Structure 1
């Protein structure tokens, strides 16, 4: 009996006393080798349990098995706040973090498929041009000579030898595939002087440090209009090489404006830039395919070698479904194992719904959902079992038509003997779970409890928020708004778009939908982003340090600090943990970081400030009976009440109200921005932008991270934006959002080369009754339980 009990205990992951973030010290058991879905409203504690407790501890323990020499080069993971974790297996986290936006990174290089393709061409490509590096656009061809010390006849002598490295990089574009030509008139207003604002590059304000460096360098006249500059002065301003100068008594490196912005803006992937900077780059820089390589990034030698009529550049440009068919047709026994591995990897792309991509697609252009599925590919063919796979909303970016295929892959990983943990809101995924753990009942401090655990039937019968909404369906609106105008898109041809012409309505809620890879984002972001009056609110990470928080990002903290200062008769800077008010022990971090050299650094709560980050002197001052640390520990909802009670903080009250409207009322003012999910980041950005009137808002899957119960609140928010005189364009797959739209633009009919066209424009009711598209089919099914088509 005892032996049986021991065996059974090893079939469960046991979590004892989970207290990470808002978790309320609960115990929970998770079945191994099963598919468990974690549900609950946004902020209920799902990620805290799955990612920050289970996955984090698994990876931390694995890191500890490596030699201490290696550990110093690995990511530093702190032990989660939990009493015990038992029977955990190695965890592989497949999240939605976007892939690196390095201009040299492509789908092929990021997944090692291009490495296999290079090896294939180096073996059987004709004519033979060299090793795999001869087909790499990141390796230049270099030749030269050097001295080599050798021993000959008992004596050490120096020999001079020549060497040659044969790489595949195109020398003209240095492997980037494009060259650029900068329009100087987009950088400068020649009628103005530097001090009047002649430099029109974003961030280069007349009173800013960067312009001061040019104005006080001594190379140019800061008070003369640019049009009056001599040829030498204009050259120094625009192109002068790096040189040391002294500005305001400080030594600094002077560099011409063109090379400086080339490094800071132009050499970065455009899709990784902030919208206003991307818009500037698109105005100022004309990117053209490199004439020498035709945009392929490869030199003549690499492109001359072919297999079955295709060069490696041709193969990388193929849609992956076509590339898989081409590889399948290669019949050469000398490379059979390589061909088989390559074939399996390409088939995996198709299996996860990414067959529409090409290997030469820049990895920085992939959405969060595409990036997650790309990372998933390397695990599908793995022979490893008894692993724990952790997924963060794997259906993000997937049309309802594509979700079944993702479900099949999750079940495949489970059936290979792995434990699969999925944080998810979609009912279609919850339905396939072997086990469901529902957290709540609310968000933030109102969450952190286990409200249900068991099978799906039990969840449906339970009285939890998730259980009540599991079978939710939407009704089509009886009437829709009338447009006030249109934004024209003409001849859109980015990626797979086929010269699309479409009028995007203004003054209403427009939803753009279609299967993954159909061209939705290419159409809207590629054609509308950067236009005057267009506010793009996406899920990209918010830039900032570990000291950045919602309070600092939104500007709320500035007004709160001023209120504290005025009430207490001191300076506002005293209430900043980043300056005068910082705890002297931890310097405002709230933790003491102990560097142990060759092993993991340790973070411990600062005993002097109790983790607040503020000095004792600061905490003697109060406002409304609260210290600044207590205010920063408040949730947005709590802060709204506090600000109202104190009064005279209208700006802060407005921002906080918009944050609550955007569905992030549960996050705390002082928490690190890095802890926010993609959906939370987007809703925080939306809260800041909502003050604008008459704007065109472009939202990228705003339901990401939202529980079924939260979608209604989002729709009410979008309605308020439209009713206030704005236009809202949402790229979205959620059927409840489609049903609520005034107008739908459906892109398709398929993905990749099978998409790129507008297949329907009209109201949701017309889509259901007349559409005939995949979107129409799934929307009709979603509303059919409550009303007839």
Structure 2
């Protein structure tokens, strides 16, 4: 019982893997991107733990839970309950903040209800989600939204001509018909010709029954002015409809600070209650760094029972490098790394033990100075009697492992095997990609490409930046360093706000689960043309979004059941077995491959299949050039990691004729093995050789050694940052005593 035993794992690219993972230890899984780490840890071990746990519930409960298919593995013994801590952003909506998600706001509300003067009520009235406490004007959101009628309406058109410029109000939609079929308007009259009364009726009528409705008007329906209906449908809630039409909503709706509460979300009475001059919203707007000194000044003896635990919670957030955040920061604005650290802290405080914690790249978004802090938390979780499994590339995390399981040797079909198991000291003498990365000597680049042309960013003030200016060399690789929250992203985003700079970040591509690698790279249309030509079927038959879709799952590959008040559950479509296509489409083959077979190919495999098609090869080669040769052509874009998304975006620019452009990247090494970094550097060098400028926000020390120029920000985060400590050649940074980047870079090139 001292180890978790996996026997015969063949999920995805795993080649009949069997391994013992020690319990109550910290095991780090290493290997190149696509080597099989996630297939073993997440798709096999975590999925099976979740599936078996779900089976312990009653049939009724099981029907409400996410359905997990049994992974392709012969046997797993001694498997504990798994807690997965991934990099998915915390999400939520405008009502979810760092304070609410971490439960710290509950303690803050309790403190204000006990100590705040005057007394205005118990802790629940201090909640902006409670009708008794929220500002009535903005309903506790802190902002009000207005509808731009010039964006919503085309005054030169009639209702029949699609005058309402919003997808779900088209003339043939059920919402559009509520205006066309009302009998209140001349449907061929242009909006610009409406009388004042007609326009008021059209826009502002409150819901009411029609007195003499036409025959085609729904019997029970009420007529409602467009503004009221739009506001109710898209503004009053963060709902599915709003997310579905997000681009159009953002076009039509303008947002501004609530004029009643000035963004504080609470009503006037609640905000009148103060502690040492601060209302509760003032306190939550402080950087976490400043909340602790404020609380330490409170001398109330009887309230120490609230204050001391609250300080402890805030100190832990500081310890993992989140001291620059505020408790009122909305969770959708947090990065994947910030979200992951908050999740980790929640588990650190849990009384549960003997679980297996599975943590996906905890170093993401962290400066080397902060990695030791996250290491401490993972070791604390282990020491409470849990098993900790970490998928990681960072050498500073690998060093703390009790056990290392190295996978490879390559990616995709060239991976899927365990090539090393043992201690850190032992891997240093092994012959694997990870071993080579850990023992590689690092030196600063000495042939810097610094010309006489510079981009000047002047007098930038935003967040923690106060009148900051800096010059950046053109046609060179500049890396922006500094701890998380030091101001790197703010400097670049504000500095290039009104420029034509190309920003390639980790934000998900605006795509549904129907978008894949082929559609994003504009190859799918060409592939479908080839299949149509060779098989005689129409081109639309080879689209799972059109005629070729499996009739059972409508081309999704899964059957998803949405349940009110409960989580959705999904299962692989039993008709098409997840391929998304009709049977007759799957039987139509080119060179022995069906269209579903093509979508299952990796980029590397597809390069061989399409070797005679120059345009397809060109675009696939660009994906390979960024190190994504292990990805499958049909991989849904919403399953990509932040680093993969960034590399897919980058691939679109690799053979462009662009020169004299400025490219900005945000931590492009995310999810990348050290041995794969040269591949990414080649891409950046290509851009520079064509006359472009490349600016990168990065924590990775290997990337720093390849910089032509470094801009280091700090010295700390939040109000302790926001200054440029250094801007110049990397070798000169090493002499800056105030810089924590200099300290770690010096260690890295001397070890």
TM-score (norm 1): 0.82
CA distance in 1, matches of 2:458, 2:171: 38
State the SS of the aligned residue for 1:438.
strand
State the SS of the aligned residue for 1:356.
coil
Q: Which residue of 1 aligns with 2:683?
A: 717
Q: Which residue of 1 aligns with 2:343?
A: 375
CA distance in 1, matches of 2:116, 2:466: 33
State the SS of the aligned residue for 1:461.
coil
Specify whether residues 57 and 719 from structure 1 end up closer, same or farther in structure 2 by C-alpha distance, changes over 3 A only.
same
Q: What per-residue deviation string (whole Å, max 9, x for no partner) do you get for residues 72-98 of structure 1?
A: 433333332222111122222221111
Q: Which residue of 2 aligns with 1:573?
A: 540
5+ unaligned residues in a row in structure 2: which ranges?
none
Please say which of residues 176-185 and 677-686 is displaced more in the overlay: 176-185
CA distance in 1, matches of 2:203, 2:41: 52
**What is the CA distance between 1:294 and its match in structure 2?**
3.0
Specify whether residues 610 and 322 from structure 1 end up closer, same or farther in structure 2 by C-alpha distance, changes over 3 A only.
closer
Q: What per-residue deviation string (whole Å, max 9, x for no partner) do you get for residues 586-607 of structure 1?
A: 654556789999999784674x
The structure 1 residue matched to 2:579, chosen from 590, 604, 612, is 612
CA distance in 1, matches of 2:625, 2:228: 43
State the SS of the aligned residue for 1:338.
helix
The structure 2 residue matched to 1:727, chosen from 693, 704, 719, is 693
5+ unaligned residues in a row in structure 1: which ranges?
1-9, 141-166
Q: Which residue of 2 aligns with 1:426?
A: 394
| Matched-pair contact (CA < 8 Å) for 1:549–1:669 | yes
1:12 corresponds to 2:3: yes
- Say how many residue pairs are matched: 736
Within-5 A mapping of 1:3-402? 10-140=1-131, 167-180=132-145, 231=196, 256=226, 260=230, 287-402=255-370
Specify whether residues 614 and 773 from structure 1 end up closer, same or farther in structure 2 by C-alpha distance, changes over 3 A only.
same
Please say which of residues 451-460 and 379-388 is displaced more in the overlay: 379-388
**What is the CA distance between 1:207 and its match in structure 2?**
12
TM-score (norm 2): 0.86
| Matched-pair contact (CA < 8 Å) for 1:396–1:704 | yes
The structure 2 residue matched to 1:492, chosen from 461, 466, 470, is 461
| Matched-pair contact (CA < 8 Å) for 1:68–1:599 | no
CA distance in 1, matches of 2:225, 2:527: 40
Q: Which residue of 2 aligns with 1:760?
A: 726
CA distance in 1, matches of 2:652, 2:209: 40
CA distance in 2, matches of 1:360, 1:310: 15
Q: Which residue of 2 aligns with 1:476?
A: 445
State the SS of the aligned residue for 2:340.
helix
| Matched-pair contact (CA < 8 Å) for 2:10–2:72 | yes
State the SS of the aligned residue for 1:307.
coil
State the SS of the aligned residue for 1:83.
strand
The structure 2 residue matched to 1:745, chosen from 701, 711, 717, is 711
Specify whether residues 250 and 588 from structure 1 end up closer, same or farther in structure 2 by C-alpha distance, changes over 3 A only.
farther
Please say which of residues 582-591 and 317-326 is displaced more in the overlay: 582-591
CA distance in 2, matches of 1:457, 1:293: 59
CA distance in 2, matches of 1:208, 1:442: 53
Please say which of residues 764-773 and 312-321 is displaced more in the overlay: 764-773
Please say which of residues 374-383 and 387-396 is displaced more in the overlay: 374-383
Specify whether residues 476 and 519 from structure 1 end up closer, same or farther in structure 2 by C-alpha distance, changes over 3 A only.
same
CA distance in 2, matches of 1:727, 1:228: 52
Q: Which residue of 2 aligns with 1:561?
A: 528
**What is the CA distance between 1:105 and its match in structure 2?**
1.4
1:655 corresponds to 2:619: yes
| Matched-pair contact (CA < 8 Å) for 2:66–2:569 | no
Specify whether residues 181 and 405 from structure 1 end up closer, same or farther in structure 2 by C-alpha distance, changes over 3 A only.
same
| Matched-pair contact (CA < 8 Å) for 1:677–1:705 | yes
Please say which of residues 573-582 and 423-432 is displaced more in the overlay: 573-582
**What is the CA distance between 1:258 and its match in structure 2?**
9.8
CA distance in 1, matches of 2:663, 2:464: 24
State the SS of the aligned residue for 1:168.
coil
Q: Which residue of 2 aligns with 1:459?
A: 427
CA distance in 2, matches of 1:331, 1:682: 50
State the SS of the aligned residue for 2:390.
strand
Q: Which residue of 2 aligns with 1:664?
A: 628
RMSD of aligned residue pairs (Cα, Å): 4.1
CA distance in 1, matches of 2:168, 2:444: 50
1:683 corresponds to 2:647: yes
| Matched-pair contact (CA < 8 Å) for 1:137–1:175 | yes
| Matched-pair contact (CA < 8 Å) for 2:481–2:710 | yes
Q: Which residue of 2 aligns with 1:635?
A: 602
Please say which of residues 708-717 and 482-491 is displaced more in the overlay: 482-491
State the SS of the aligned residue for 2:466.
coil
CA distance in 2, matches of 1:243, 1:767: 70
Specify whether residues 600 and 396 from structure 1 end up closer, same or farther in structure 2 by C-alpha distance, changes over 3 A only.
closer
| Matched-pair contact (CA < 8 Å) for 2:449–2:475 | no
State the SS of the aligned residue for 2:611.
helix
State the SS of the aligned residue for 1:617.
helix
Specify whether residues 609 and 61 from structure 1 end up closer, same or farther in structure 2 by C-alpha distance, changes over 3 A only.
closer
| Matched-pair contact (CA < 8 Å) for 1:395–1:403 | yes
CA distance in 1, matches of 2:98, 2:524: 41
Q: What per-residue deviation string (whole Å, max 9, x for no partner) do you get for residues 415-467 of structure 1?
A: 22221111110011111111000111111121111011101111111111100
Q: Which residue of 2 aligns with 1:533?
A: 500
**What is the CA distance between 1:234 and its match in structure 2?**
6.5
**What is the CA distance between 1:412 and its match in structure 2?**
1.8
**What is the CA distance between 1:291 and its match in structure 2?**
3.5
| Matched-pair contact (CA < 8 Å) for 1:759–1:773 | yes
**What is the CA distance between 1:32 and its match in structure 2?**
0.9
| Matched-pair contact (CA < 8 Å) for 2:457–2:495 | no
CA distance in 2, matches of 1:74, 1:527: 47
Specify whether residues 782 and 189 from structure 1 end up closer, same or farther in structure 2 by C-alpha distance, changes over 3 A only.
farther
CA distance in 2, matches of 1:698, 1:369: 19
CA distance in 2, matches of 1:347, 1:237: 55
Please say which of residues 451-460 and 211-220 is displaced more in the overlay: 211-220
Specify whether residues 219 and 724 from structure 1 end up closer, same or farther in structure 2 by C-alpha distance, changes over 3 A only.
farther
State the SS of the aligned residue for 2:293.
helix
| Matched-pair contact (CA < 8 Å) for 1:214–1:220 | no
Please say which of residues 85-94 and 368-377 is displaced more in the overlay: 85-94
